[in-house]
Amino acid sequence: MAEFTHIDGDHVRMVDVTEKPDIHRKATAQGRIYLDSKTLKAIAEKTTRKGNVLATAEIAAILAVKETFRIIPMCHPLPVGGVSVDFVQTDEYIEATVTVKTYGKTGIEMEALTGVSVALLTIWDMVKSAEKDEFGQYPGTRIEGIRVLSKEKSAA
């Protein structure tokens, strides 16, 4: 049976990591947003109404990484040593990849996942007027495949 470290009977708790050693940690997460081909073209050509979509999504991802502990209740505030955000655009989707580094007592994968999620949500928000159909719905727009690609730990 799996052990859940954030549950103590009927109560939730933040795990005490004070006795754990500080080590280098790195996590990479990825996800995709599927958009209409016209929207993808506008993003690539930087002709969307709200401005540079990917530059804005990159900033949003970095801010989200730094604020993860405020969003997810049992996450520890971590010193973020570095964040990289990359986008790959195809004729069907934009793939966001976020890598986060820290030196500390606990993992950084939630920060990477939060960064990817917010990057993709920001893209959606910036192009939603172009993605809506005549009924105000989003028939083809979707976010998929958000996942941790890798998690690493190493001594100093």
Note if 125 is an active site residue.
yes
- The strand ranges marked E within 23-156 are 23-34, 80-89, 93-104, 142-154
User: What is the rounded distance in angstroms from the CA atom of residue 13 to the CA atom of residue 96?
Assistant: 32
- By CB atoms closer than 10 A (0-12, 13-18, 19+), residue 3 is exposed
User: What is the rounded distance in angstroms from the CA atom of residue 133 to the CA atom of residue 140?
Assistant: 9
Q: Which of 8, 22, 125, 133 is catalytic?
A: 125
3-state class (DSSP) for residue 110: helix
Picking from 109, 110, 122, the residue whose alpha carbon sits closest to that of residue 33 is 122
User: What is the rounded distance in angstroms from the CA atom of residue 33 to the CA atom of residue 60?
Assistant: 15
**Catalytic residue positions?**
125
